[in-house]
Structure 1
């Protein structure tokens, strides 16, 4: 029992010492910001340019470099308590959702496309997974996704 009391007393003393050290440090002047240039470079010389980017074959195209994105949507699309159906063939599930130029298009399995004004790019971004591949043509992407 006495060894527990001694152990607690040691912890309390350590806590007291830590608190006193904190008070001493808190009263000191703040540390100045580190210099922005490395010490080896002279003040008048420009910093060396280092190419730290990935090689071109490993880079993912930015949003500006792609025409659009698409994802499969096997479920019915329900908007405002209404199931969206294809205007041409009446299909209501197994869609391909296309996002291009801030517009959302639905494409049915038969290849009919319709602009869906009730969906927007933030909706697409919330529901789309990560990009797993890029394709040069629209048909290549459809083939990749099984349409």
Structure 2
């Protein structure tokens, strides 16, 4: 067994030599395997085409929106505690707002409170894709039924 291993280590086998010869022959025939060829020279420049999405299909970037919000119908449990409105005691049917790196909770009665135990990472992980954009905060509240 050791004799066969030492024998293989001495040099390439006959099959490996034949393969190397075939590769060398094909390198001369196929330009993408051999030396790189010069790119074709065009007499005129390619026309500039706006291939970006039409304005109706574009989504505003994060720096173009003031904030994002999502509905949260069920009770919101944070760190083992159920979040409740500090003014009316409501504990479900929230609007969760993410703006300027802060998270705010808004109850059905319109009371808002900052929730420091949540962050934008939590919001991004739990929110779905935006289904609409609105020019004003009130338009967004109407859209979400508040």
Q: Tell me whether the two structures share a fold, i.e. TM-score over 0.5.
A: yes
Change in 2 beyond 3 A, CA 1:46/1:97:
same
Q: CA RMSD in A?
A: 2.9
Name the larger-Rg structure: 2
Task: Compute the TM-score of the two structures, normalised by the length of structure 1.
Answer: 0.71
Query: 1:7-26 to 2 correspondence within 5 Å?
Result: none
After superposition, the C-alpha distances for 1:106-147 in whole angstroms (9 at most, x for unaligned) are 000000001111101111111111111111110111111111
Name the CA distance, whole Å, in 2 between partners of 1:73 and 1:25. 69
Q: Which contiguous aligned blocks of 4+ residues in structure 1 show a shift greater than 3 angstroms?
A: 23-35, 39-42, 45-48
Name the CA distance, whole Å, in 1 between partners of 2:37 and 2:116. 52
Query: Equivalent residue for 1:122?
Result: 121
- For these two proteins, the number of residue pairs brought into alignment is 122
Secondary structure at 1:67's aligned position in 2? coil
Gaps in structure 1 of 5+ consecutive residues: 1-19
Change in 2 beyond 3 A, CA 1:134/1:25:
farther
Task: Compute the TM-score of the two structures, normalised by the length of structure 2.
Answer: 0.71
Question: Is 2:92 the counterpart of 1:93?
Answer: yes
After superposition, the C-alpha distances for 1:73-118 in whole angstroms (9 at most, x for unaligned) are 0111111211111111111111000011111100000000011111
Gaps in structure 2 of 5+ consecutive residues: 1-15
Change in 2 beyond 3 A, CA 1:34/1:49:
farther
